[in-house]
Structure 1
Amino acid sequence: MTQHTTGTREEWIAARLALLEEEKALTRRSDELARKRQALPRVRVDKAYRFETETGPASLADLFDGRSQLLVYHFMFGPDYTAGCPSCSSIADGFDPIVVHLAHHDVALVAVSRAPLDRLLAYRRRMGWRFPWVSSGGSDFNADFGIWFTEAQQRAGDIAYNYRRERALDWRPGTEDTADAAEARMAAMCGTDVPTFHRDRPGMSTFVLDDGVVHHAYSTYARGLDGLWSMYQWLDRAPLGRNEQDVWWRRRDEYGDD
Structure 2
Amino acid sequence: MNEHKIVTRQEWLAARLKLLKEEKELTRRSDELAQKRQQLPWVRIDKEYQFETERGKGSLRDLFQGRSQLMVYHFMFGPDYEAGCPSCSAIADGFEGVVKHLGNHDVTLCAVSRAPLPKLQEYKQRMGWTFPWASSFGGDFNRDFNVWFTEEQQLKGTIEYNYRREPEMVWRKGKEGGGSGAEAEFAAMCGTDVPTYHRDRPGLSTFVMKDGKIYHAYSTYSRGLDGIWSMYQWLDRAPKGRNEEEGVWWRRHDEY
**TMscore range, shorter length:** over 0.9
Large movers: runs of 4+ above 4 Å: 172-176
Q: Secondary structure at the match of 2:32?
A: helix
Q: Is the 8 A contact 1:61 1:212 kept in 2?
A: no
Matches of 2:180 and 2:234, distance apart in 1? 27
Q: Which runs of 5+ in 1 are unaligned?
A: none
Q: Secondary structure at the match of 1:111?
A: strand
* TM-score relative to the length of structure 1: 0.95
Measured at CA, do residues 175 and 114 of structure 1 come closer, stay the same or move farther in structure 2, by a change above 3 Å? closer
Q: Is the 8 A contact 2:209 2:215 kept in 1?
A: yes
Report the alpha carbon displacement of residue 72 of structure 1 after superposing the two structures with TM: 0.3
Residue matched to 2:23: 23
AA aligned opposite 1:4:
H
Matches of 2:177 and 2:214, distance apart in 1? 46
Report the alpha carbon displacement of residue 200 of structure 1 after superposing the two structures with TM: 0.1
Write the deviation string for residues 125-150 of structure 1: whole angstroms up to 9, x where unpaired. 00000000000011110000000000
AA aligned opposite 2:45:
V
Residue matched to 2:222: 222
Number of aligned residue pairs: give it.
253
Matches of 2:67 and 2:204, distance apart in 1? 18
Q: Is the 8 A contact 1:175 1:181 kept in 2?
A: no
Residue matched to 2:111: 111
Q: Secondary structure at the match of 1:108?
A: strand
Write the deviation string for residues 104-130 of structure 1: whole angstroms up to 9, x where unpaired. 110000000000001001100000000
Residue matched to 1:92: 92
Q: Secondary structure at the match of 1:142?
A: helix
Report the alpha carbon displacement of residue 180 of structure 1 after superposing the two structures with TM: 2.3
Q: Secondary structure at the match of 2:73?
A: strand
AA aligned opposite 2:80:
D
Q: Which runs of 5+ in 2 are unaligned?
A: none
Q: Is the 8 A contact 1:156 1:168 kept in 2?
A: yes
Residue matched to 1:196: 196
AA aligned opposite 1:254:
E
Larger deviation, residues 166-175 vs 5-14: 166-175
Report the alpha carbon displacement of residue 174 of structure 1 after superposing the two structures with TM: 9.5
Matches of 1:127 and 1:116, distance apart in 2? 17
Matches of 1:211 and 1:173, distance apart in 2? 53
**Aligned 1:117-132 pairs, distance under 5 A:** 117-132=117-132
Q: Secondary structure at the match of 1:137?
A: coil
Q: Is the 8 A contact 2:76 2:201 kept in 1?
A: yes
Matches of 2:108 and 2:99, distance apart in 1? 7
Residue 101, structure 1, aligned to residue 101, structure 2: yes
Q: Is the 8 A contact 1:159 1:166 kept in 2?
A: yes
Report % sequence identity.
Answer: 70
Report the alpha carbon displacement of residue 245 of structure 1 after superposing the two structures with TM: 2.8
Q: Is the 8 A contact 2:177 2:194 kept in 1?
A: no
Report the alpha carbon displacement of residue 4 of structure 1 after superposing the two structures with TM: 1.2
Residue matched to 2:38: 38
Write the deviation string for residues 15-48 of structure 1: whole angstroms up to 9, x where unpaired. 1011111100000000000000000000000110
Residue 154, structure 1, aligned to residue 154, structure 2: yes
AA aligned opposite 2:127:
M
Residue matched to 1:79: 79
AA aligned opposite 1:62:
D
Matches of 2:151 and 2:97, distance apart in 1? 36
Q: Is the 8 A contact 2:78 2:114 kept in 1?
A: yes
Matches of 1:24 and 1:166, distance apart in 2? 35
AA aligned opposite 1:206:
T
AA aligned opposite 2:114:
R
